[in-house]
Amino acid sequence: MFPSPKLVLLAATTALVTAPALAQSDFQSCLQNIRSEAARQGVPTATIDSAFRGLTPDAKVIDLDGRQPEFSQTYGRYIGNAVTPDRIARGQQKLQQYRSLLREIEREYGVAPQYLMAFWGVETNYGSFMGDFSALRSVATLACMTKRQAFFGNETVQALRILANNHMTTQQMKGSWAGAMGNMQFMPSTFTKWAVDRDGNGRIDIWNSMPDAFASAANFLRGVGFKPGLPAAEEVILPQGFPLDQADTTVEKPVRAWAAMGVKRAGGGALPTSDEPSQIILPAGWRGPAFILYPNFKAVMNWNRSTLYALSVAILAQQIAGGPTVMQSAPADDAPLARDTIVDIQTRLAKLGFYTDEADGLLGPKTRSAVRLFQKQAGLPADGHPTPDMVARLQRTVR
């Protein structure tokens, strides 16, 4: 659910920082602050003492946290890894296996079964890799040995609350290196806010009890605005002459307004008749597939703030439910860009006055807007998507 460690590990990685010398005294004084806050939130002293006894920072966690992907993610590669035929087939099989439970949960929470299966598939490949780190040690290490003390300090407090309220041992509370736990990879703060005991045995067990894991995920999704009705996203076909600058997450229109512009479902059918706000995106540029994003897409983004992540959940859910595959393939030359290349693009776009932020090597919305401005100036399709050709052109234009 949070930084998606599995994908970080799949990507080619480079260690940008080496683990700092682990200063045991700093670590202990940091734990002291967390202890005070945990006590203030009602965690018994005995629980904290037992959890913190002999606790040391995990050097492996610091090392993994320091790694950064060397290349940007492309739509084609990301979706290709996340939505495989095997994962679709297993999702369909799990949907059958848990059918009655999933129907009950849908009635209660309004979250369609295929979405729970898609999250489960993307997060842990249906429970196959939930992580073997001590979640408490991971979040305490990240709180005390990295710059994100506020975020992970709270996660550590919440992990202590779970230990106190859920009668677990720190050994039982396993997670990813970044502290995401169980079948759905809940962070401790997600657990304390949304996790529920569905099977009624008095404990919330998102590791071993599927009723608890599914209902907790459904409760979270409902809580962040997931509604029955429209799916999260659908592939669409844009009409000839569609203004490409409208294909941007900042451009929101009622579904019927897109339909009036001639946007159709990928199979050729009409879009749903709806006034719900929606956006169009071109995740692989104008030569790749187009998607319309409905309000449930924002709920999925609450789970993980990555457009490609949310798109992978939407596509996987649709196919688990027997819906169509994505028809338009990504352009074959849509290659990942090295961070150095993105820094180079950003620097050149800054010289043109199109980009004013820090050259951070990340392909974010501001970089895409700047790319769009260059494309417009150069008379190229202004989809905000940098291709190798466009990069070469920029490099010739700005020296």
Residue 164 CB, shortest distance to Ca ion, in Å, is: 17
Binds Ca ion by CB under 5 A, chosen from 26, 37, 199, 245? 199
Q: Least separation, in Å, of the C-beta of 269 and Ca ion?
A: 43
Stretch that binds Ca ion, among 16-24, 96-104, 156-164, 210-218 (CB under 5 A): 210-218
Long-range pairs for 322-328 at CB < 8 Å and ≥24 separation? 322/92, 324/235, 324/266, 324/267, 326/79, 326/235, 326/266, 326/289, 327/235, 327/266, 327/267, 327/289, 328/235, 328/266, 328/288, 328/289, 328/290
What's the Cα-to-Cα distance from 379 to each of 129, 374, 393, rounded to whole Å?
A: 48, 9, 11
Closest approach of Ca ion to the CB of residue 206, in Å: 9
Stretch that binds Ca ion, among 69-77, 153-161, 209-217, 257-265 (CB under 5 A): 209-217
Whether 280 and 322 have beta carbons less than 8 Å apart is answered as no
Helices within 224-306 (DSSP H only):
255-260, 295-303
CB 88, CB 30: distance < 8 Å: no
- In the bound state with Ca ion, the residue whose beta carbon lies nearer, of 212 and 383, is 212
Nearest alpha carbon to residue 112 among 327, 316, 325: 316
Minimum distance between the CB of residue 120 and Ca ion, rounded to whole angstroms? 17
Helices 75-82 and 307-320: angle between axes, nearest 10 degrees:
40
Q: 65, 123, 212, 334: which one contacts Ca ion (CB under 5 A)?
A: 212
* Region of 47-55, 197-205, 316-324, 364-372 interacting with Ca ion (CB under 5 A): 197-205
The DSSP annotation for 89-100 comes to HHHHHHHHHTHH
Among 36, 201, 329, 397, binds Ca ion (CB under 5 A): 201
Q: Two tokens at 147?
A: 């710059």
Options 26, 63, 104, 197; binder of Ca ion; rule CB under 5 A: 197
Nearer to Ca ion, 45 or 201 (CB): 201
User: Quick check: 155 binds Ca ion (CB under 5 A)?
Assistant: no
In the complex, the smallest distance separating the C-beta of residue 209 from Ca ion, rounded to whole angstroms, is 5
Instruction: Give me the least distance between CB of 348 and Ca ion, in Å please.
Output: 56
Which single residue brings its beta carbon nearest to Ca ion?
197
Which parts of this chain interact with Ca ion (CB under 5 A)? 197, 199, 201, 203, 209, 212
